[in-house]
Amino acid sequence: MTNGEKIVFLGDSLTEGGDWQAWFPDDEVVNLGVGGDTTADVLERLDEVVQTAPDSIVLLIGTNDFGSRRSVEQVVRNVESILVDLRRLLPGVRLLLQSIMPRGSDYGDRIQDANRHLRQFAATVRAQYLDLWPALSVDGHLNPDLSDDGLHLTAAGYEAWLGELRPGLERLRDEPPMSRPISIIRLPEPR
C-alpha cells in the first residue's frame, strides 16, 4: 500500500481516542472507533465499514467483552466472524488484526488465551497479526506508566502503541492487495 490510500481504524474507545489523521497525515484516515463497543457491536456495524471502501482495515476490539464477562470462546468467535465477514464483503482489503490490549491483571490470562487463538486464525483469512503486548504490558497487565485507569491509554501509551503499529502498517503496505479468486471455466475435453 502506498501512502494516500484509505485506512479504517476500527474498534472501541482505544481506537476512538487515537489521533490517527495526525499520526498518518499522508493517508486518508477514517476513525470508526466507538467507546464501549464490544465484538458484537462491531459485527453489527460492518456495513458502515464496507461503505467507506477502505484499502486497509486496522482492527482492535475485545477488551470490553472481557469487562462484560464474555468468555474467551465468545470473544474469539466474534473476532473471527468480523474477519471472515470483512474478507467476504471486502475481498481486496488488507487486514491488520491487533492483539487485544492488556488491562488489569485479573484479565491477563484470559486475554492472552484469546490472543493465542486469534494469532493462529488471522492467517486463515489473509490478515496480518500485530502483537501489542511486548510494548504495553508489564507482568501480564497494562503498564501503569501508559494508563491512568488501567484500561485507557495516556499520550505515552499511544506512543508505545504507535511504536508497534507503524512498522506493522509498513509490513501491511508491502503486501499486494487481495483480489477475488479467479474462476476457471472448464471446457469439455475434445473427443
In this structure, which CATH number among 3.30.70.80, 2.60.120.260, 3.60.15.10, 3.40.50.1110 belongs to the domain 6-173? Answer: 3.40.50.1110
Residue 182: pLDDT band with limits 50, 70, 90: very low
Which of 8-12, 101-105, 110-114, 127-131 shows the lowest per-residue confidence on average (mean pLDDT)?
Answer: 101-105
Give me 61's grid cell.
Answer: 476490539
Rg (CA), the chain: 18
Mean local confidence (pLDDT), 109-114: 97
In the chain, % of residues over pLDDT 70? 90
Helix 108-122 vs helix 72-89: crossing angle, to nearest 10 = 30
Q: What is the pLDDT of residue 183?
A: 42
What does pTM read for this prediction? 0.89
The total number of residues written for the chain in this structure: 191
- What does DSSP assign to residue 130? E
Q: State how far the Cα of 152 lies from the Cα of 172, in Å rounded to an integer.
A: 26
Mean pLDDT of the chain: 92
**8 Å CB contact between 95 and 127:** yes
